[in-house]
Structure 1
Amino acid sequence: MLAVCPDHGYYRGEFCPKCGKKGRFLMSDKEIDILGRLLAGLLRHFPDKLNLKIDGRGWVDIKELLDALKISRSGFQWLREEHLRALVETDPKGRYQIYGGMIRATYGHTIEVKLDDLPEADVDVLYYPVTKEELEFILESGLHPSDRRKVHLSGSIEKAIEAGKVRTDDPVILKIDAKRAREDGVKIYKAGKDVYVTDFVDKKYISLLDK
């Protein structure tokens, strides 16, 4: 569940992780899941389904989003801006931003958006999962966006494995020399808690992770 503690703010779970008190209820786990899926779809893939206006950097007006959700989904008449803020602030992957009455997804887009206002990466190494069938091709040609507009990189081996297992039981992990890429002028942005995005990764920055 999603709740708010009067002393420590929004949290997920029955009790505040900082003080152990039970806060004011906001959303059930089921409602979190449904709303999260809707947000991901609307902000990343199909804002036009609810006639939402999305700007060049992926921002949507929160009031317009709330109105559209209430009109299109009869079960969301209770939805308020507080619920969106709570969902965004407690999202374990850091997938969204709210600023000045606007909301956006920070990665995962299939629609064209500019994300060059995200913070630039400050890490030396990043990781990317591939299947065994893809390995040779990527080592020869580099990393290009596939089903999304950006190449999505992981900040840890564990997260890369987790992402890779969505597609294959035994992902092969590639190591990206992010430090060298940045020194060469490649722009890499931090888009989530452990997700980084860029337009393309040249093969000279890619190597097979030593097991």
Structure 2
Amino acid sequence: MDDRRLVKVSKYLSRHLRHDPQRLGIELDEQGWVDVDVLLAALARQNFRLTREELDEVVERNDKRRYVIRDGRIRASQGHTVDVDLALEPVEPPAELFHGTAEGYLDAIRAEGLKAMARHDVHLSPDYATAVRVGSRRGRPVVLVVDAGRMAAEGHVFYRSENGVWLTESVPAWAIAFPD
């Protein structure tokens, strides 16, 4: 599969496995899973042809490891706006985590911290380079350093999704180091 098709399929899956499964005519279980065969049949009904081999390739080659296939089922690793419980266990975070964003959001973040918005959780990166890539999606990237150790000490709960993205309900402004 060429890279262009890989991106197209990945975005299509993201839309339906994270945000709008009913538009495709599928139903996610309470943890966000759907049978692979059910997904492929639903895609075919929408004239979006995808073989099982192509689906496996998209899951394997996605640079962000957005999807997981297990026991004949597939789900998005995180980022849902639909109501799911990923059944992740709380994990002690490293001292620092990172959040990539665009310059235009800095004033709001300084005032209110990081909020989940339409998603279930705030997404944090384990390293600076990943945060740069995430922040680049919406313009010139800015990387914020989050004092995850202090947050955890003060009772904030962290989770780590299967693809290594750190999740927490919100990040207060006091826990964010802003660039000069």
Q: Which residue is 1:92 aligned to?
A: 63
Q: Which residue is 2:175 aligned to?
A: 205
In structure 1, C-alpha distance between the alignment counterparts of 2:81 and 2:159, rounded to whole Å: 17
AA aligned to 1:178 is A
What whole-Å deviation, never above 9, does each CA across 1:6-65 have from its counterpart, x for those lacking one? xxxxxxxxxxxxxxxxxxxxx343432332122111101111012101122211111110
Distance 1:29 1:203, change over 3 A: closer
1:131 Cα deviation after fit = 4.1
Match of 1:177 among 116, 123, 147: 147
Distance 1:74 1:160, change over 3 A: closer
Q: How high is the sequence identity, in percent, across the aligned residues?
A: 34
3-state SS of paired residue (1:58):
coil
Matched residues, number: 180
Structure 1 contact 124–177 (Cα < 8 Å) conserved: yes
Q: What TM-score do you get using the length of structure 2 for normalisation?
A: 0.84
AA aligned to 1:47 is P
Structure 2 contact 90–157 (Cα < 8 Å) conserved: no
Q: What TM-score do you get using the length of structure 1 for normalisation?
A: 0.73
Larger radius of gyration: 1
Structure (1/2) with the larger helix percentage: 2
Superposed CA RMSD = 2.5
- Structure 2 residue ranges without an equivalent (≥5): none
- Structure 1 residue ranges without an equivalent (≥5): 1-26
1:3-18 equivalences under 5 Å are: none
The structure showing larger relative contact order (alpha-carbon pairs under 8 Å, at least 6 residues apart) is 2
In structure 2, C-alpha distance between the alignment counterparts of 1:186 and 1:132, rounded to whole Å: 26
1:132 Cα deviation after fit = 4.1
3-state SS of paired residue (2:146):
strand
Q: Which residue is 1:152 aligned to?
A: 123
Structure 2 contact 6–58 (Cα < 8 Å) conserved: yes
3-state SS of paired residue (1:165):
helix
**Runs of at least 4 residues off by over 6 Å:** none
